[in-house]
Amino acid sequence: MSKGLVIHHFSVGPLQVNCFLVACGKTGDAMVIDPGDEGARILGLAEREGLQISKVVNTHCHFDHIGANQQVIAATGASLMIHAADLPLLQHARQHAEVYGLSVVPSPEPDRLLDHGDTFTVGTHSFRVFHVPGHSPGSICLLSDGHLFVGDVLFAGSIGRTDLPGGDLNLLVTGARKHLFSLPDETIVHSGHGPDTTIGQERRHNPFVGDKARR
C-alpha cells in the first residue's frame, strides 16, 4: 500500500453516490466520506485493505449520502462529523427518502460539528474544511494533498441542484468561486456523483460557476 494518501472510490445505492474510503498509507487510519449505502461493502473493503475507520464525514446530509452511517459507525466506533447547518437534514433523512419512494436507516447524531476553516487529521494527513452552502445549507468540501472532496457542490461540467429546501444558487456560485477556485488548477476534484475533474477544468469550462458563466 502507498505510504501517502490512499483513496478508494466506489458508487453506492440506487442514486449512485460516490463514496470514498480515504486512508493514511503510513498508519492505516481511515475515514469514510459519504457512506450513502452498502455499508457491508465499505466495511469489507476496509478489512481487506487492513484499514481502521476512525471517522465518517458527510459532505452534506441528503438521505442518499448518509444511508450507511449507522452501519459503519456501529461496526467501527467511528466519529461522525457534519456541518451544523445540515443537522435537520440528518435528523429527517428517513422522511425525505420516503418522498422519493426510498428508505434509509436513521443516522446516529454527529460527534463533531465542522465549520469553515476547521482542520482534522487522518493518520499523518491534515484535512481542511470549506463551507460552501447552496446545494444544502451545510455543504462542506475537504482538502488534503491536492485532493478536494466536494460532495454535490461541484460536478464535472455542472453543479449540485439548488431547488431543494435550503438550496441557494447564489450562495453556491459565490462560495465555489471564492473558496474552491482559489485552489491550484491541478487540484483533483472528487464529486458526489459522476467522474473526477480538476479545479482548472471547472474554472475554465464549467457553464454554471466557471469563467464562462461570468461573461
Residues 1-22 have pLDDT tens digits of 567 999 999 999 999 999 999 9
Give the residue-averaged pLDDT of 155-171: 96
Map out the domains of the chain as residue ranges: 5-214
d(CA 137, CA 69): 20
d(CA 123, CA 144): 12
Decide if 22 contacts 68 (C-beta within 8 A).
no
d(CA 180, CA 196): 15
pTM here?
Answer: 0.97
How many Cα atoms within 13 Å fall on the side-chain side of residue 120? 21
Pick the CATH number of 5-214 from 3.40.50.720, 3.40.50.1000, 3.60.15.10, 3.30.1330.10: 3.60.15.10
The pLDDT of residue 22 is 98
Residues 86-140 have pLDDT tens digits of 999 999 999 999 999 999 999 999 999 999 999 999 999 999 999 999 999 999 9
Residues 166-180 have pLDDT tens digits of 999 999 999 999 999
* DSSP-derived pairing of the beta strands 52-57 and 79-83: parallel
Decide if 156 contacts 188 (C-beta within 8 A).
no
Report which of 34, 7, 28 is spatially closest to residue 160, judged by C-alpha positions.
34
Predicted confidence band of residue 212 (pLDDT cuts 50, 70, 90): confident
The mean pLDDT of the chain is 96
d(CA 46, CA 23): 9
